[in-house]
Amino acid sequence: MTETMDDAADSALVDKARHGDREAFAELVRGCQAKVFMTIVSFTRNTQDADDLMQDVFVQAYRRLDRFKGRSTFFTWVYRIAVNHTLNFLKRKKREAGRRELDERTVRPADNPASGGPEAEAVREELERRIREAVDLLPLIYRAAFNLVAGQGLSHGLAARALGVTENTVSWRMHRARKMLQAKLGPYLQGGDP
C-alpha cells in the first residue's frame, strides 16, 4: 500500500490542525478515512461498529496531535491508532457470532471483474464467503496480520508498524495464518484458477 498523502502537504495540514484549524483536520481525515474504515470493517464485519470505532480513532488523533512527531505519515500514525483501537474493541467484545452487518449506504462491494460466467461467479462467491468465515475464526493475532496484509494489501513493514511488532513477526504470523486457513479450507482451494 502506498502512503495516501504527500508528506509535505500532510505535515502542513497537521501543523494547521494542531493550531485548531478544523478544516485542515477534515482534509487529513478525508485523505485516509476510506482506508481506515475498510480496515476496521474488515475486522468487525459490521459498519455501525466500524463507524463508531472510526469516530473514536479520529477524535483520539485530534486530541493527540501534539504527540504526532512526524516520524511517519499522518496516515500511518492514524492507521496504528485504528488497528490498536479495533483490536482492543474485539478483545473486549470477544467474538460475536451473527453480528455481521454491512450497511449498503456506507459500503458497497467493489467492482470485481467477472470472468467465467454466472456459474464460476457463484463458485467464487461461495469461496469468498468461506474464506471470510475461516478468517474470522482465526486467533486474533493471526487474523490481524492476515487482514492487514492479504486483505488490505499492506506490506509487512506497514503491518508491523500498525501492529507494533517486528516484520519477522508479521512474516511468521502470515505463514501460520495461511497454514491454518489452508487446513480449514483445503478442499475449496484445490484446482481452478486463483
Partner 1 sequence: MRCRRSRRFISDKLDGALRPRLGRALEAHLERCPDCRAHERTLRRLDSGASRAGRLDFTPEAGEEFLRRLDRRLDQERQRAGSPVGKRWLWSAAGLTAVAVAVLAWVLVLRPVPSPDIYALSESDVFSRIIDQYSRDPGWETSFNDALLASIDDSTISREESYPTDPWDNPLLWEGVSREELNQLETEIASDAAI
Q: Which residues bind partner 1 (CB under 8 A)?
A: 22, 25-26, 29-30, 33-34, 37-38, 41-42, 51, 54-55, 58-59, 62-63, 102, 105-110, 112, 124, 127-129, 131-132, 135, 146-147, 149-153, 155-156, 167, 171, 174-175, 178, 181-182, 185, 189-190, 192-194
Report which of 54, 63, 67, 56 is spatially closest to residue 25, judged by C-alpha positions.
63
Contact 169, 162 (CB under 8 A): no
CB of residue 126 vs partner 1: minimum separation in angstroms? 10
Report which of 18, 21, 20 is spatially closest to residue 74, judged by C-alpha positions.
18
Quote the DSSP letter at residue 112: P
CB of residue 188 vs partner 1: minimum separation in angstroms? 9
Closest to partner 1 by CB, 8 vs 109, is 109
CB of residue 129 vs partner 1: minimum separation in angstroms? 7
Closest to partner 1 by CB, 10 vs 173, is 173
Burial bucket for residue 146 (CB in 10 Å: 0-12, 13-18, 19+): buried
Closest to partner 1 by CB, 38 vs 141, is 38
Question: Which residues partner with 101 through β-bridges?
Answer: 46
The whole-angstrom separation of Cα 5 and Cα 129 is 33
CB of residue 68 vs partner 1: minimum separation in angstroms? 16
Closest to partner 1 by CB, 8 vs 161, is 161
- Residues in Cβ contact with 100 at an 8 Å cutoff, skipping those fewer than 6 apart: 45, 46
Closest to partner 1 by CB, 8 vs 162, is 162
CB of residue 70 vs partner 1: minimum separation in angstroms? 22
Cα→Cα distances 174→148, 155, 157, Å: 10, 11, 13
